[in-house]
Amino acid sequence: MEFSSKLLEKAVNEMAQLPGIGKRTALRLVLHLLKQPVEQTQFLSQALTSMREEIKFCKNCHNISDVEVCEICNNPSRNHKIICVVEDVRDVMAIENTNQFKGIYHVLGGKISPIDGVGPSQLNIKSLVDKVALGQTEELIFALSSTMEGDTTNFYIFKQIKDFDIKTSTIARGIAIGDELEYADEVTLGRSILNRVPFENSLKNL
Amino acid sequence: MEFSSKLLEKAVNEMAQLPGIGKRTALRLVLHLLKQPVEQTQFLSQALTSMREEIKFCKNCHNISDVEVCEICNNPSRNHKIICVVEDVRDVMAIENTNQFKGIYHVLGGKISPIDGVGPSQLNIKSLVDKVALGQTEELIFALSSTMEGDTTNFYIFKQIKDFDIKTSTIARGIAIGDELEYADEVTLGRSILNRVPFENSLKNL
């Protein structure tokens, strides 16, 4: 792609570094900004820079926060004895949106994935084990992706904490609400039969 | 969507103003930046701001440029008597990539589209008519989209300049190279028969 302007080229190249944004999309976005008032670009740049420079991670659960300890960890009405282990900040937001969990979180910052060069030391695993070692925690809920990497990470953490007196659980895997059995894959369907729950339990969430 | 940080929320909201980028994608992009070195965000912001604030439009053809008159208009080896009329900067880049056109351009900045509130006065039409009125131009090539808005714009400009002694043409519409006839729509196929070209001509581009 040949550009008639170095400024344009540089902006497109920087934009195209974002994941899922190719050169063509980047050009479309940049030309859109050119048609908008100059303030829109200034606001965008300002918001991105101050977000990147000033944002903090909660020193307790590693969730994104504007202060040292995040709102969730700071909330005395939440149950600090139940910790939900998640991959990243988006998962915290997703679970919070369900309004079904009143414990606290621990954000790992990813999952163990040797193919991407991510080992246990790059994740917030040690701080989780240290937290459990304090003996204040009753239950760990693993809420990681149902993939090989997620399962590996669950198992790695499980091995580190299995000597402590603590309950561990994973979120239920099964047929998604609204799904037709016909289209479910065999592994999911098989597990959902093995892990069947008393019918009365399924009525509770209605 | 509930955010645990105002800084994050602001960055996501600004990002989501870009066309085709929803809140979820914006969040994904912003969280990606958070994982990258702080310099990447600074470079991106800097590139966008300086692009928006410093970029110029060629005063001759309205193409994007770092200087007053763009490289194409400044090139004495190009034929300044043939003007290719295009919608926007991307079209200039697309035609330049073909290496088939050695004239100059005129960027309208859009097309007449009442439904989007774009009338002739918002486009660079007057400067085109003024340029033609100088009598130095031999041919106008309309290279606009083959849509109702594109055709309307072509026709509007044609009416403005039809009293001048000037040749006008549009780029050829027809079956795209590599397309199967079976899948071509009727209008395109019908026009491609009406506007058939001598077989010898089709050999020239091989």
The minimal CB distance from A7 to the residues B19, B29, B55 is found for: B55
* Cβ <8 Å between A18 and B7: no
In this structure, which topology does domain A76-171 adopt according to CATH? Answer: Dna Topoisomerase Vi A Subunit; Chain: A, domain 2 (3.40.1360)
Whole-number pLDDT of residue B156: 94
N- to C-terminal Cα distance for chain B?
55
Domain boundaries defined on chain A: 6-54, 76-171
The minimal CB distance from A7 to the residues B7, B11, B50 is found for: B50
CA distance A52 to chain B (A): 6
Whole-number pLDDT of residue B173: 85
Total count of residues recorded for chain A: 206
Q: Long-range pairs for B148-156 at CB < 8 Å and ≥24 separation?
A: B149/B111, B149/B112, B149/B113, B150/B87, B150/B111, B152/B111, B152/B112, B153/B108, B153/B111, B153/B112, B153/B123, B156/B112, B156/B120, B156/B125
Q: Six-digit token pair at B40? A: 């990447």
What mean pLDDT value characterizes chain A? 90
CA distance A199 to chain B (A): 32
Which of A49, A101, A122 should we substitute to test contact with B (largest number of B Cβ atoms within 10 Å)?
A: A49
Query: Looking at residues A21-33, what average pLDDT do you find?
Result: 93
Class of domain B77-171: alpha beta
How does strand A82-86 pair with strand A139-142?
Answer: parallel
pLDDT digits (tens, 9 = 90+) for B115-163: 989 999 999 999 999 999 998 999 999 999 989 999 999 999 999 998 8
How does DSSP classify residue A110?
A: S
Q: Which residue has the higher pLDDT, A4 or A92?
A: A92
Q: Work out the pLDDT band at B206, boundaries 50, 70, 90.
A: low
| Closest chain A residue to B50, measured at CA | A7
CA distance B160 to chain A (A): 26
Give helix A38-54 / helix B23-35 axis angle, nearest 10°. Answer: 50
What whole-number distance in Å separates Cα of residue A185 and Cα of residue A187? Answer: 6
Which of B35, B51, B91 should we substitute to test contact with A (largest number of A Cβ atoms within 10 Å)?
A: B51
pLDDT digits (tens, 9 = 90+) for B71-123: 999 999 999 999 999 998 999 999 998 888 999 999 999 999 999 899 999 99
Nearest-Å Rg of the Cα atoms of chain A is 22
List Cβ neighbours of A193 (8 Å cut-off, separation of 6 or more).
none
* Cβ <8 Å between B45 and A43: no
- Say if residue A15's pLDDT is above 60: yes
Query: Looking at residues A151-160, what average pLDDT do you find?
Result: 93
The minimal CB distance from B51 to the residues A8, A28, A93 is found for: A8
Q: What angle do CA A179, A181, A184 make, to 5 degrees?
A: 80
Which chain A residues have a beta carbon less than 8 Å from that of B70? 4
Whole-number pLDDT of residue A205: 60
Helix, strand, coil share of chain B (percent; to 5): 50, 15, 40
Which of B1, B3, B5 should we substitute to test contact with A (largest number of A Cβ atoms within 10 Å)?
A: B5
Q: Is B117 left (phi over 0), alpha (psi -120 to 50) or beta?
A: left
- Say if residue B51's pLDDT is above 90: yes
Backbone angles phi, psi at B142, to 5 degrees: -85, 115
CA-CA distances (angstroms) from residue B172 to A150, B40, B144, B188? 55, 44, 11, 11
Which chain A residues have a beta carbon less than 8 Å from that of B6? 66
Helix, strand, coil share of chain A (percent; to 5): 50, 10, 40
Helices within chain B (DSSP H only): 6-15, 23-35, 38-54, 71-74, 89-98, 126-133, 148-161, 186-194, 199-204
ipTM of the shown complex:
0.81
What whole-number distance in Å separates Cα of residue B65 and Cα of residue A38? Answer: 17
Q: What angle do CA A15, A40, B4 make, to 5 degrees?
A: 80
In this structure, which topology does domain A6-54 adopt according to CATH? Answer: Helicase, Ruva Protein; domain 3 (1.10.8)
* Cβ <8 Å between A4 and B53: no
* Cβ <8 Å between A7 and B66: yes
- Say if residue A181's pLDDT is above 90: no
In 10 A of CB A109, how many CB atoms?
16
Which chain B residues have a beta carbon less than 8 Å from that of A63? 4
Question: Are B55 and A41 in contact, with CB atoms under 8 Å apart?
Answer: no
Nearest-Å Rg of the Cα atoms of chain B is 22
The minimal CB distance from B38 to the residues A3, A52, A71 is found for: A52
